């Protein structure tokens, strides 16, 4: 029930704690399975819509292009872990309702294997709505991930924005060279 950290103190362990390594590209479902946790999703929205300018730019699309948009609450063993908003050009995923579990599994099944990603990580405070969905107090700290995933040839495949609970997520970056 309690988690102690050297020099950090003792904290109530309110949800599964997940460490994510950013040296390999994996889906949320794959990350959870590798830790012995069961990944789940609560769908908030699945629709086809016109990409706003920021998404069109991130995905290399023309103004007015359509994307499959999916918003879902991601869970680990039933506990809320993250809010995820994904946009995929409709040429890769024409019907967002086709995604039942892992988005990456569905994309691979269609012949579009995510190969690499550029990811930006920022610390944020959750809004009242985000906090309610993640079952934490309003203003709680969270990790905001913005990821552009590409195919092997560099074609943009996915643009994702996610808010991960700050009390349940650790990110590890690879380090190269002399330390």
Model pTM above 0.85: no
Tell me the pLDDT tens digit for each residue of 73-123. 999 888 999 999 999 999 999 999 999 888 999 999 999 999 999 999 999
Quick one: pLDDT band at residue 67, thresholds 50, 70, 90?
very high
DSSP H helices, the chain, are: 28-34, 53-59, 103-109, 128-134
**Exposure string for 131-151, b = 16+ CB within 10 A, e = fewer:** bebbebeeebebbbbebbbbb
Q: β-strand 79-89 against 156-165: which pairing, if any?
A: antiparallel
- Round to whole Å and give the CA distance between 39 and 32: 6
Quick one: pLDDT band at residue 52, thresholds 50, 70, 90?
very high
Nearest to 127 by CA among 144, 113, 108, 140: 140
- Round to whole Å and give the CA distance between 60 and 139: 34
Q: CB–CB of 163/82 below 8 Å? A: yes
């Amino acid at each position: 029930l309690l988690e102690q950290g050297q020099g950090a103190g003792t904290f109530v362990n309110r949800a599964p704690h997940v460490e994510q390594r950013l040296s390999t590209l994996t889906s949320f479902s794959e990350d959870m399975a590798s830790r012995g946790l069961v990944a789940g999703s609560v769908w908030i929205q699945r629709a086809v819509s016109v990409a706003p300018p920021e998404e069109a730019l991130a995905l290399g699309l023309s103004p007015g292009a359509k994307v499959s948009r999916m918003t879902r609450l991601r869970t680990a063993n039933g506990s809320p872990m993250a809010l995820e908003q994904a946009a995929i050009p409709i040429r890769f995923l024409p019907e967002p309702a086709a995604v039942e579990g892992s988005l990456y599994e569905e994309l691979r099944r269609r012949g579009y294997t995510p190969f690499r990603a550029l990811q930006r990580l920022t610390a944020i405070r959750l809004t009242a709505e985000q906090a309610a969905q993640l079952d934490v107090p309003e203003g709680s700290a969270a990790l905001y991930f913005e990821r552009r995933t590409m195919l092997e040839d560099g074609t943009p495949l996915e643009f994702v924005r996610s808010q991960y609970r700050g009390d349940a997520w650790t990110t590890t970056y690879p380090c190269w060279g002399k330390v």
